[in-house]
A and B are shown apart, each in its own frame.
Chain A
């Protein structure tokens, strides 16, 4: 696993693609630099997020460091949203990032986008077909290759922290029958194994950049020099295949689909603007979508 200094160098190297001036690039990287400041690696854990959540709530220890990462080679109690099953055997990359809540609410709500973009960019280093589905599912040909969970936790002193849990299906050769139609992995897509340490380093470097970009956007907003379009959401649009699609929306879309609509735009707050069958418009800020097959 790379040292934190090497990780920051990798983030700087990857930042060259983004076409910002050297000064702005430095500022963005400085904001994101705490990502991966420490990384604990375990052979197995029930869930990485559980460990960090316990530490945040522990009243006997000082405020935990922002940017720290917990990684496990496999998870024994993994789950997705709504307690959905997440297959997490050896061969995947599983980690959780702890981040102190130091963003304004309008910007902290975009952290799940920053995590999604970082994951998608990481996967695209190997498989260019990876695309983002609103909010932050990374999919290849409709199959999920990466899952992200985000939650906010209050510390013992009331300080708020974000927990971002990420699972990437890297060297997984097969999935259980119920997941096989909807999940894929690096191995299944390319026929080759990926180095998990390298994948982890790339992901953390991309997280440094995209979280930094979020802070830089906030800085620009506070200075009154922000453009109309968020830099982070502009990048999301480039990576997503959601806009223009016929979708089914639901808070828990798998068990309680609510309606079908056409996804038109993403607004400045990350809300998905959709047109219903009767022509009326609706914007959703939470929940999830699936793409309709007849589209």
Chain B
């Protein structure tokens, strides 16, 4: 067995024993916190055709008499709640709670892939589309035929009718996973693309095949 496949087995067994994602929620800014959920409560993520309906309210944070309700981005159950800070003033970034999100097969494949691929994140919350050259090559031959290099203009970010070219700054490789459709609104920091170094392509294909075949 290769070292790649040993690594893969470890990753796969981790997801078999605990097929959940644990989403930590931190105070978005300093302020007084009041929880709106109990330990173990079920919460829902954003919904609606345009992802515009907010998820379950999680906590309210008040600063200078300006209360703000923070809602869940994902579905799951409240796995832990930092009750010590209930009603108290916390600094920005204080961990408040954790949501245990049950992973679907597709999410597990993506989660495993994201440990192997180089993920290129959205620089700002905006709408994104591929540069004309990349889009035309995707249309003609598919994304996985495209090799990108650091410095390549790959994506255009559109914010307030201002278009900004986005240059790739990761390691060279194949455009393996596309996490947005042209024109989608993507939050800052969320991956836009996953890039696979050519030498890792075989092991990645093996990951997808095995998870698809073995996962119930």
Contact = CB atoms under 8 A, between A and B. Distances in A.
Interface of A: 81, 105, 109-113, 135-136, 148-154, 162, 251-252, 256, 258-259, 270, 276, 280-282, 284-288
B149 interface: no
Given A252-B183, A256-B183, A280-B53, A152 B162 contact: yes
Given A153-B165, A251-B183, A285-B125, A109 B52 contact: no
B163 A150 contact: yes
A112 B160 contact: yes
Interface in B141-187: 158-165, 167, 182-183, 185
A148 B52 contact: no
B183 A280 contact: no
A110 B164 contact: no
Nearest to A116: B161
Contacts of B52: 276, 280-282
A280 B158 CA distance: 24
Interface of B: 48-50, 52-53, 124-127, 129, 158-165, 167, 182-183, 185
Given A251-B183, A282-B52, A152 B126 contact: no
Contact of A280 (B48, B161, B163, B182): B48
B165 A135 contact: no
Given A251-B183, A256-B183, A286-B126, A270 B160 contact: yes
A32 to B, nearest CB: 18
Contacts of A154: 165, 167
22 contacts: A81-B163, A111-B162, A112-B160, A148-B161, A150-B160, A151-B165, A152-B162, A152-B165, A153-B165, A251-B129, A252-B183, A258-B50, A259-B49, A282-B52, A285-B159, A285-B185, A286-B161, A286-B185, A287-B127, A287-B158, A287-B183, A288-B161
Contacts of A280: 48, 52-53
A149 B163 CA distance: 8
Contact of B161 (A112, A162, A256, A276): A112
A105 B162 contact: no
Contacts of A284: 185
A284 B158 CA distance: 11
Contacts of B127: 251, 285-287
A252 B183 CA distance: 8
* Closest 9 A/B residue pairs (Cβ): A251-B183, A152-B164, A282-B52, A150-B162, A286-B127, A151-B163, A135-B161, A286-B158, A112-B160
A162 B160 contact: no
Given A251-B183, A282-B50, A286-B158, A151 B164 contact: yes
A276 B165 CA distance: 31
Contacts of A110: 160
Contacts of A285: 125-127, 159-160, 185
